[in-house]
Structure 1
């Protein structure tokens, strides 16, 4: 029978899961007959109202499971009989709204910088009752419900309250615990039932192929103690070890290591190798492991196969205790089309552009964030702050910036939409990146923002207030492409491509650059680093030793992908461990030692890092010896720091008596030789020391005569003795 205070259509829309305002029907209400409680509990055989010492059976007013009962004013509980199984709980529809007016105002304006704690699922205590508050942005949905095992995945059981002013739905469900798996069930704007959606702001997710969100125990996430850092990072040595956490090393049965196991092995290794920073490929929750994390759906959740969120937080703290900074790759450019994710989230193009000419990446089959929408910008900036503040990471490396900057990126004529001025620049993305950098600089001083950006877009590392994008460093993709092309040439032909090695210095100080040899260079048929090098086996490894040494001595911060430090000869495979057994072979152990020594030299000599981004720190000595394929330059440090002379011979010919100018006479010490026997070389060199005569050469007041080892790089510095 129908309750006289309810219109039959209201009852029908509730039991049919179409009612958009459940609090108008459910929970406590004052009627002419006095206070009553209504509860919709499909499948329940009986319900009793518990108020103080009173127990009042509720009346079933609809066979689908709608109950009503009179009650005295005050707190109450529901005792629910699920056909013999008794559940006792508070009524979700007895709680007042929890999101405050300021939260809603900031969400509406797209300025809520702690959106990760405002939206999503958060354990909390309300009116003395422990439970979980859920909140999700879905402004165009007709109804949103929380579903999970706790309500048999029935979207009629826990429909949420719409806070109209911000398009946010919220609900507090008492007695739920951390670890609960849940999703959202939505009706779209035409009343259509959508595929169940994972929570965009969940802090934890199920491991793939499962797609549920998990209520994280956010109280256990204590931000790690920060890494001690001060001063301008451009003046510091920065040497980054890039790692895919699922394949650096594997455990029994080829299982990926979890964060604890990985930290036990990886942190002492990175520390012992002398790298200053550890960079992880994206660790945000992603449905397909073969994307390496570059197609994330959980911008606030750690990837479940590696362990719980608090375990990643502990790994960051352990890195900081070892003096290692942590960098995360972060992807604000695009997201995958999986139906449980952000695509058509509320039945409309909410996070993405509706027009595929703006909203679909043809190269990656992904959707492009609509950065002209303030709520989407807020979502992404909130994600960036989430990793920097809640997990204490030291930097974000922003992926695919070039694709964000240009509307015609990888598109033919007619496949893209010009900006309001008719140009190709993506003004919304540019504005977003500037806003991002300014907020991070204000809220997270000392944290870095690094751009993977492959074009000549001006001012990437100029401050936003000065007209730039505000990044701290930019990957120098041009340098990487040019120098690898040169190294792939047979040495007999390198004379014709000499400029590939020198061109990077034409623009080396136009931005603050990082020199990357990343994962992208050792996959998809490109070959591992040793395979790129020409010649017989000895020459290939000599070429690689000389090249890595060239890189470490070149202006710019350094980044090297895992496995490259010991010259793994096969391409990287994300489904298996690196070939650590190769370190039993001298040529691989020698390469590893070379990289360790390069890091030590780079960090220990101010001339090799302090002016990485300043033209005052560099001077060519020889840049035009194309016949011999020799390059020589000087690196200078601030103040009275000792200079360093770097000489590279990229032919398999030893050169005797090679004369070079230097800024001062006297003894010069050969502090590094890539041809040393300990690295697998032939031990050709200058006996560790050479004398510079007061005879001018190359525009410098003194000169010295060197033996240049075949396919070798030397570093010399004035002797202090």
Structure 2
């Protein structure tokens, strides 16, 4: 294999053309992955692999592997004005291992580097890249892809089940399931629970499993822990054929310092900043990308498009956006460098994020991006043309923090903290929000969601049911981390599977069944999802009943009379004959009550028809009287009549 030598490398034509070099230098090559990396090809009638790597400061670059005994003298690469080195090696093809051997600008030898654009990597802890071509998979999701986006995602139901592939389920001997096995088991499970999407913790290859994928080095390679790139394509394909979307967590904020990775790639700080005050993220022990380099922006934007182009994913949730936006993120005074105006905003990162979103929506207008952004940065999910960052959605971290803080309080003291629940409604219409109850909230000593709840065992489970109801009542798209539906007592542990035996316990099975019914109600009632991102999709009935720790609200759909009434009781007391004003004169019926016995509740229900009485209340000419269950939520729908 790899029969050519330094003497015959020039017999083959260049792999990259003048336009490729121009676009790479300009930082506008959106499909850079089609040229950089390793591409099986036939040149001048000879089969082999074309290698290309960006290393502008290197004095020499060679491609090495078993095909040349890892000897850099055998296949040196030729350079170009764009800083890209390339080489066609005959007889090297899919499955062959390789790395790049570089000498720095002063001729110093560097660690062998994995290919930043590798489409496949060895399974960690091995670190070589693997030759693997694009294409080669026969997709069966044409119906899904053709229909995707016909209903704008902002108006459609969006309820995502967040999954870490290595710890959702495992084989009896503790080994990982592969992509196809996970799909076979996860699809019917998610379908039964009524979710619309799965959101996967990062699948890009990452050397340290304990990073959960948030410290990736092989950005273009689905992790080999669970199979091949084709296996992951089959995973996505199967979800689409089952009517389910797939969202990937994506990490363009930072990368680990492993010697075979991007750090000090060509003997200079190529991908990262040279100044540690700009380039080092101390909290995570990682390096921040230098967004001031056009080529770095190209690398990342091409990677985002790669997952959309080649793997048909439906959305990208962009991790750690706050760390990108702020130069002083997690840094003390004197440990960061101000921007050219003396401010703390990372202007280059802002420009990158806008370019990223413009590229995604230009190339895939039926896909979407989500920002995990935890600050008050304005207009994160507004168009770049209006001065925004251009994301489709933003995680509502404020809602998550305030809600979980409130639920951790004893029921006796909740009335003194009523504003922790109502504050989010003051700003819910300023962004397109996703409400996250994510993996970050059930690790590192925070306890599980059930573990945060106060009271007796029954009260803790009732509180968890109420938390789920509040999530589905509140405007915003939904995201729930795996295990929430089981009522896990322990924190999530990436090294073991979920506690599936909890489903054998009726009280925990009740949480599971309630989530199924909440998803079904959310999807069925337009009033609960069409206005998720619209100020007019929500209205208070009564937000000020602190004494009883009760909230009542309306979710409003686009048509007159298209509404859902939700009343939530955050105490362990039963409120009989509780009265709320309603804008519809016709009768109502209870369409969900979290205190149902099948959910583990005590059965304080409101059966039959609830007829409004001509007793004005809460700005309405009529009101209804009902029973509010302890630590329970009641969802009501009108069965006749129009809005006043």
Aligned mates of 1:93, 1:680 — CA distance in 2: 74
Instruction: Compute the displacement of 1:221 (Å).
Output: 4.0
Of 139, 148, 157 in structure 1, the residue corresponding to residue 65 of structure 2 is 148
8 Å contact kept, 2:561–2:584 = no
The reply on whether 1:170 has 2:61 as its aligned counterpart is no
The reply on whether 1:94 has 2:14 as its aligned counterpart is no
Instruction: Compute the displacement of 1:695 (Å).
Output: 2.2
- Residue 138 of structure 1: aligned partner: 55
Instruction: Compute the displacement of 1:314 (Å).
Output: 1.1
- Residue 317 of structure 1: aligned partner: 237
- Residue 270 of structure 2: aligned partner: 350
The reply on whether 1:677 has 2:568 as its aligned counterpart is no
8 Å contact kept, 1:607–1:641 = no
- Residue 216 of structure 1: aligned partner: 132
8 Å contact kept, 1:668–1:719 = yes
- Residue 410 of structure 1: aligned partner: 330
TM-score (norm: length of structure 1): 0.87
Aligned mates of 2:172, 2:32 — CA distance in 1: 39
Identify unmatched segments of 5+ residues in structure 1. 1-25, 28-38, 41-67, 69-90
8 Å contact kept, 1:247–1:576 = yes
- Residue 296 of structure 2: aligned partner: 376
Deviations 1:335-390 (A, max 9, x none): 00000000000010000000000000011010000001000000000000000111
The residue matched to 2:577 in structure 1 has which SS? strand
The residue matched to 1:161 in structure 2 has which SS? coil
- Residue 315 of structure 2: aligned partner: 395
8 Å contact kept, 1:634–1:643 = yes
The residue matched to 1:669 in structure 2 has which SS? strand
Instruction: Compute the displacement of 1:93 (Å).
Output: 4.2
Of 39, 42, 46 in structure 2, the residue corresponding to residue 129 of structure 1 is 46
Of 642, 647, 652 in structure 1, the residue corresponding to residue 572 of structure 2 is 652
Deviates more, 1:501-510 or 1:219-228: 219-228
The reply on whether 1:485 has 2:405 as its aligned counterpart is yes
Structural mapping, 1:282-681, within 5 Å: 282-681=202-601
Aligned length: 635
Of 102, 107, 113 in structure 1, the residue corresponding to residue 24 of structure 2 is 107
The residue matched to 1:581 in structure 2 has which SS? helix
| Structure 2 CA distance for partners of 1:688 and 1:546, relative to 1, 3 Å | farther
The residue matched to 1:503 in structure 2 has which SS? helix
Deviations 1:428-470 (A, max 9, x none): 0001000111111111111100000000000001101110000
Aligned mates of 1:668, 1:252 — CA distance in 2: 49
Deviates more, 1:685-694 or 1:709-718: 685-694
Aligned mates of 1:214, 1:349 — CA distance in 2: 25
- Residue 117 of structure 2: aligned partner: 201
Aligned mates of 2:232, 2:504 — CA distance in 1: 31
Instruction: Compute the displacement of 1:720 (Å).
Output: 4.5
Aligned mates of 1:678, 1:688 — CA distance in 2: 18
Instruction: Compute the displacement of 1:688 (Å).
Output: 4.4
* RMSD of equivalent CA atoms: 1.3
Larger relative contact order (Cα-Cα within 8 Å, sequence gap ≥ 6): 2
- Residue 187 of structure 1: aligned partner: 103
TM-score (norm: length of structure 2): 0.97
Instruction: Compute the displacement of 1:92 (Å).
Output: 4.0
Aligned mates of 1:182, 1:134 — CA distance in 2: 10
Aligned mates of 1:332, 1:198 — CA distance in 2: 18
| Structure 2 CA distance for partners of 1:156 and 1:655, relative to 1, 3 Å | same
Aligned mates of 2:580, 2:520 — CA distance in 1: 26
Aligned mates of 2:178, 2:47 — CA distance in 1: 31
The residue matched to 1:716 in structure 2 has which SS? strand
The reply on whether 1:706 has 2:626 as its aligned counterpart is yes
Deviates more, 1:686-695 or 1:241-250: 686-695
Structure (1/2) with the larger strand percentage:
1
The runs of 4+ residues in structure 1 deviating greater than 3 Å are 221-227
Instruction: Compute the displacement of 1:666 (Å).
Output: 3.1
8 Å contact kept, 1:618–1:634 = yes
Aligned mates of 1:399, 1:419 — CA distance in 2: 23
8 Å contact kept, 1:553–1:608 = yes
Aligned mates of 2:13, 2:611 — CA distance in 1: 83
The residue matched to 1:254 in structure 2 has which SS? coil
8 Å contact kept, 1:92–1:174 = no
Aligned mates of 2:598, 2:561 — CA distance in 1: 28
Instruction: Compute the displacement of 1:95 (Å).
Output: 1.3
